Chain A
Amino acid sequence: MRSKFQEKGWKVNGKILDDLYFLQDIANRSEGLQTDLSFDQFEYSLTTAKSISPFLNLAFGYLYGDVSPFSEGSNNEHRLVQQITISQLFTRTRLSEQIRVEERFFGRGYRTRLRIKFALEVPLEGIKLDPGEWYLVSSNETLLDLRPRMQRNAFYTENRMQVSFGKFASNRNKTEYGIGYHLARINQNGLVENYIYFRTGFYISR
């Protein structure tokens, strides 16, 4: 039974992401005090999306994020998301570009950023991606801090590269397992930190 909402071409997309970061702490380990440290970064999001054409998709949504790196208690955020996805299917490969604006609300302050992601998706079983089949997706994402110059550490703050294996279970859900390389400019000195993370993502669409 399709609702009026669906008849007009709108979809509801849900997403659960877990990024797991590992950081080695050699000094502590040699003292036998602590093993390597890790932290989880969870994201739950709900978006409504509409395909304007086979190449263009619009989406608006809400995201709840929860990070608890090392500290007691969590550091959660509420986020509003607006995005445009342009995609083109070549014989096997789908190339897509996603432009996304995010308004992020933390317990302590507000941040807004622009994310530009290029992704390449290749089916691993056959020429076309059918339900029940695996695919490979790699992406590169640039994150820009849109707050005024006087408030941000840098304009180009982060870059994330990611390679994932995904299982396209059905038109309604898919699961992805990936590894990512995350570069972040953390302060005004321009110091860049790099992190490797493991991502598990579960996506549903109705």
Chain B
Amino acid sequence: MEKYIGFILVLLLASKVLAQESNSIGIKKEIEKGIGASDFPPAGLLFVDAFKNKKRLRFYEQNTSGELAFESKFIYEGRKFSIEFDTLGLLTNVEVEMKWEEIEKATRRRIQNGFDQHFERYKLIKIQKKWVHEEEEDDFDQYDIEEFLAEFSPDRNKLDDFELAYEIEISGKRLESQRKNIR
């Protein structure tokens, strides 16, 4: 069954560079380990606390290609959230699970083109909207939790200091010509 490989595909669809980015598909390797709240960076805990009435709160330590990060997952207002912090507890990204139909139609078409060019067939497993902090900002550590929450809503497509991307997990069969290239 080696033909059927699960891939985590990250489609970076920054709204500013949509056309150019449409075919950029990256492959990511992620190892996740459950941890207790006491092992979580305190600044991160403070941020997570600001989401009131959340359910099923979990904490994880994450190793992405050698880089350590901390992640908190919970359900807030009926949606699955996952918020990532660096080792100092500084916010790096916010992910919200969503449905395919909730993505803008033109963006959906771009994503579909990307998949069609790389896979014979595929199945969507998980779709997340992802706001990634633009790290080049100097005031990275100056974010205000209250301000963030006031501005933030899962339906937003734009958030100051953050770049929007979609992370889509699929299982698919790569096209023959592609498979030869990656071996």
Contact = CB atoms under 8 A, between A and B. Distances in A.
Interface of A: 23-28, 31, 33-34, 36-37, 69-72, 75, 108-109, 147, 150-153, 186-189, 191, 193
A151 B157 contact: no
A153 B124 CA distance: 11
Interface string B81-110: 000000000000000000011001111111
A48 to B, nearest CB: 31
Given A71-B113, A109-B177, A23 B122 contact: no
Main secondary structure, interface of A, reads loop
B106 A186 contact: no
Contacts of A31: 15, 157-158
B183 interface: no
Which 3 pairs between the two chains have the least Cβ-Cβ distance? A25-B106, A188-B123, A23-B106
Interface-centre pick from B19, B105, B173 (highest chain A CB count, 10 A): B105
Interface string B156-181: 01100000000000100101111000
A34 B121 contact: no
B154 to A, nearest CB: 14
A191 B100 contact: yes
B112 to A, nearest CB: 5
A33 B15 contact: yes
A108 B175 contact: yes
Nearest to A186: B112
B115 interface: yes
A189 B124 contact: yes
B109 A69 contact: yes
Given A25-B105, A70-B22, A187 B175 contact: no
B113 to A, nearest CB: 6
Determine the interface band of chain B, counting residues with CB < 8 A from chain A.
Answer: 20 to 34
B15 A23 contact: no
A108 B117 contact: yes
B15 A71 contact: no
A137 to B, nearest CB: 28
Interface-centre pick from B109, B157, B178 (highest chain A CB count, 10 A): B109
B18 A109 contact: no
A44 to B, nearest CB: 21
A36 B23 CA distance: 19
A31 B158 CA distance: 9
B175 A109 contact: yes
A193 B104 CA distance: 12
Contacts of B106: 23-25, 28, 36-37, 70
A71 B21 CA distance: 8
B33 interface: no
B38 interface: no
B16 interface: yes
Given A70-B19, A108-B178, 5 more contacts: A28-B18, A31-B15, A71-B110, A186-B112, A193-B105
Contacts of B105: 23-25, 193
A24 B108 CA distance: 11
B120 interface: yes
A108 B181 CA distance: 12
Contacts of A147: 120
Given A25-B104, A191-B100, A70 B110 contact: yes
Nearest to A153: B121
Nearest to B3: A150
